[in-house]
Structure 1
Amino acid sequence: MSEGDSEPVRGGSLTKLDRFWLETARGAAKESVAALEEAAKQLISVTSLLQAIYFAAISFSDLKGALAAEGEIRWALVLLFVLPVVLWLLSLSYAVLVFKPESYRTNLSSPDLARSMYGEIVGYKHRQLQRAHLFLVLGFVPLVVNIVIYLAWI
């Protein structure tokens, strides 16, 4: 049986519990776009807050003076200290793409085309959100390295 068949997977009529789970799955499918967009909003807020805190920490530190005295290694350190911001900006850009309007071809008289269109929408938003989460998490790796360098060396 394929995903689009309307018959129950097992023989006989549906129990109350079966109907409950089918309704739960229908509700989850209807709410999936809103849930993805809500997660993107939260990710945008978190990423923006992290960038603001990071910039404030750098602004109040003596990092600029310490980097000026290092010579050739200076540029490597500058890039290392900028890397979390770059990764978080990538995260922010992918999170914003969740809200980017797209055109989808569908025919509202065709359940198969409507299902396909909805799947495309959810898939696109989910991929962008996954990328946004990936870059958010990756931004913490150089952040930890930067903290260790700053505390141990600078």
Structure 2
Amino acid sequence: MKAPLITPPEPDPLLDETRAFWREIGKSMIRESIGTIDEAAKQMLGVISLLEGLYFHAITFSDLRGKINNDLLIIYLLPIVLLLASLIAALIVFAPDRYRLNFTSAEASKIVYERVIRIKQVAFQVAAIFLVLGIGSMLLCALTYLRG
């Protein structure tokens, strides 16, 4: 009895093209990553500034002056503190830094680039967390105000 002849499957003719496509996608993601974080941080700065302005406006024109105790004062100041922390973290995304770089070393360039991305990403994530907490505290203030 003879063993059946096993033939390998024919190679996918689009395999090389698919791999090249995904390599290009990966390269563009790496090239654009700093710009993407910077653009998102700019948009976040706009949202934070708008919320700060609206909140200051609401507090300024409300009838709360002299009517709240220390506990309520903390509740009403909490959004300002959280949004300010978010603003500072979002600004860190744009903070300039000195990069010691050996241009002849690809590995050194990679390490510096990854460090820059990591710092920007962490600062952006911290800003986003404080922004969400700030919005949540604004809702708490609204509930506190409406309950009287």
For the superposition of Structure 1 and Structure 2, which TM-score range results when normalised by the shorter chain?
Answer: 0.7 to 0.9
CA shift, 1:32, in A, is 0.5
2:98 aligned residue: 103
1:132 aligned residue: 127
Residue 91 in structure 1 maps to residue 92 in structure 2? no
The one-letter amino acid paired with 2:121 is H
Identity across aligned pairs (percent)?
Answer: 38
2:118 aligned residue: 123
57-66 or 93-102: which moved more? Answer: 57-66
User: Quick check: which has more Rg, 1 or 2?
Assistant: 2
Q: Kindly tell me the number of residue pairs found equivalent between the two proteins.
A: 135
- Divergent runs of 4+, >3 A: none
The one-letter amino acid paired with 1:105 is R
Structure 2 gap segments, 5+ residues each: 1-14
Structure 1 gap segments, 5+ residues each: 1-13, 68-73
CA shift, 1:123, in A, is 0.5
Q: SS of 2:101's equivalent? A: coil
After TM superposition, the score normalised by the length of structure 1 is 0.83
29-38 or 140-149: which moved more? Answer: 140-149
RMSD of aligned Cα (Å)? 1.4
CA shift, 1:22, in A, is 0.6
Counterpart Cα distance in 2 of 1:125 and 1:108: 22
CA shift, 1:107, in A, is 1.1
CA shift, 1:65, in A, is 4.5
Q: SS of 1:66's equivalent? A: coil
Written as runs of structure 1 = structure 2, the 5 A alignment for 1:71-82 is 74-82=69-77
After TM superposition, the score normalised by the length of structure 2 is 0.87
Q: SS of 1:44's equivalent? A: helix
CA shift, 1:66, in A, is 2.9
